[in-house]
Amino acid sequence: MSEHAAASSIEARGLTLALGGTPVLAGLDLRIGPGEFVALVGPSGCGKSTLLSVLAGLIEPDAGAVLLDDLPSGDRLGRLTLMPQTDALMPWRTVLDNVRVGSLLAGTAADEATAAARRTLARFGLSGFEDHYPHALSGGMRQRVALARTMLGGTRMWLLDEPFGALDALTRADLRGVLADTWARDRPTTLLVTHDLDEAVLLADRVLVCGARPARVVGEIPVAMRRPRSLDDLADPAFSEPRAEILATLRATGALA
Ligand SMILES: Nc1ncnc2c1ncn2[C@@H]1O[C@H](COP(=O)(O)OP(=O)(O)OP(=O)(O)O)[C@@H](O)[C@H]1O
Ligand SMILES: [Mg+2]
């Protein structure tokens, strides 16, 4: 189960990939230390989701390598938990079964997996929906189920692709808190893709900025702000300074007017 899985470092070295003749990744390098929380921001279409697919082992790069704990990892599929940009819930399984699947695959006893899934669903405001099927949920509810499944995925390496994209502002702030608390407790190595700069600064130890396609990391902004962080801290220079720097770096990529 997640407490026992290793939170390894994740490194991309010179990742290069073309899809359908279009260069999407061009010599991309990054490193996330064990238990570190890194956010990735960048213009739409620059290759962020593609990068996560490569890191997760769903797509092999044309050149370059992914290293876990400094070792090249050709067969990493299943070692990292990817929460894709679309929720990718299994329509034929109930909410409870969607959320339990990672723990069961990781070898957790069924009773324990069920109890953990129920607890997590309750934290995400989904008590009473355990036996519903995904089609009977709203977009935001499906996204909460997908996030619950990721957290119980049985690994401590999380790749989150805009996990709060389909949520209203209040639910978003609420689940951001749940993610921050869960990360602080379990310390998974985490890479979060987001378009929300406030979210990147509120959650991450470091924010990477990706340039226009083909993707490369063109900036890295550390966030030294102490935790726990909240929306009440927006006026704090420890929040506003890195945020301004991210914005300036994005502008320099030509991604923003
Ligand atoms: N299977 C594919 N075949 C051809 N091109 C693809 C394929 N998948 C993605 N692309 C292209 O790769 C580029 C990067 O796509 P990707 O989904 O990684 O971007 P992204 O940074 O995640 O964008 P967004 O912020 O909008 O989610 C896009 O230009 C897209 O058209
Ligand atoms: Mg994407």
Q: Measured in angstroms, how far is the CA atom of residue 70 from the centroid of ligand 1?
A: 28
Q: Please determine, for residue 68, whether its predicted confidence score (pLDDT) is greater than 70.
A: yes
Ligand nearest to the CA of 48: 1
Q: Measured in angstroms, how far is the CA atom of residue 227 from the centroid of ligand 1?
A: 34
Q: Please determine, for residue 99, whether its predicted confidence score (pLDDT) is greater than 80.
A: yes
Average pLDDT, the chain: 92
Q: Measured in angstroms, how far is the CA atom of residue 45 from the centroid of ligand 2?
A: 7
Q: What is the pLDDT of residue 4?
A: 58
- Confidence class for position 230, pLDDT limits 50, 70, 90: confident
Quickly count: other Cβ atoms within 10 Å of residue 19's Cβ: 12
DSSP 8-state assignment for residue 117 = H
Nearest CA-CA partner of 250 in 56, 27, 242, 146: 242
CA 249 to chain centre: 21
CA 172 to chain centre: 14
Listed by start position, the domains of the chain span 1-80+156-257, 86-154
Averaged pLDDT for residues 60-77: 93
Cα separation, 2 vs 156, whole angstroms: 6
Structure tokens at 61: 């790069």
Which of 16, 48, 83, 194 to mutate for ligand 1's pocket (most ligand atoms within 8 Å of CB)? 48
Radius of gyration of the chain (CA): 18
Query: How much of the chain, in percent, has pLDDT values that exceed 70?
Result: 97
Atom 23 of ligand 1, nearest CA residue: 45
Q: What is the pLDDT of residue 246?
A: 97
Q: What is the pTM of this model?
A: 0.94
Averaged pLDDT for residues 131-151: 92
pLDDT, one tens digit per residue, over 158-215 is: 999 999 987 888 889 988 998 999 999 999 999 999 999 999 999 999 999 998 888 8
Q: Measured in angstroms, how far is the CA atom of residue 16 from the centroid of ligand 1?
A: 14
Secondary structure of residue 190 in the 3-state scheme: strand
Secondary structure of residue 25 in the 3-state scheme: strand
What is the fold, at CATH topology level, of the domain defined by 1-80+156-257? Rossmann fold (3.40.50)
Cα separation, 192 vs 33, whole angstroms: 14
Per-residue CA distances from 222 to 37, 119, 201, 206, 219 (Å): 11, 33, 9, 4, 10
Q: What is the pLDDT of residue 87?
A: 76
Structure tokens at 154: 């049985």
Does ligand 1 lie within 6 Å of residue 47's CB atom? yes
Which of 15, 25, 46 to mutate for ligand 1's pocket (most ligand atoms within 8 Å of CB)? 46
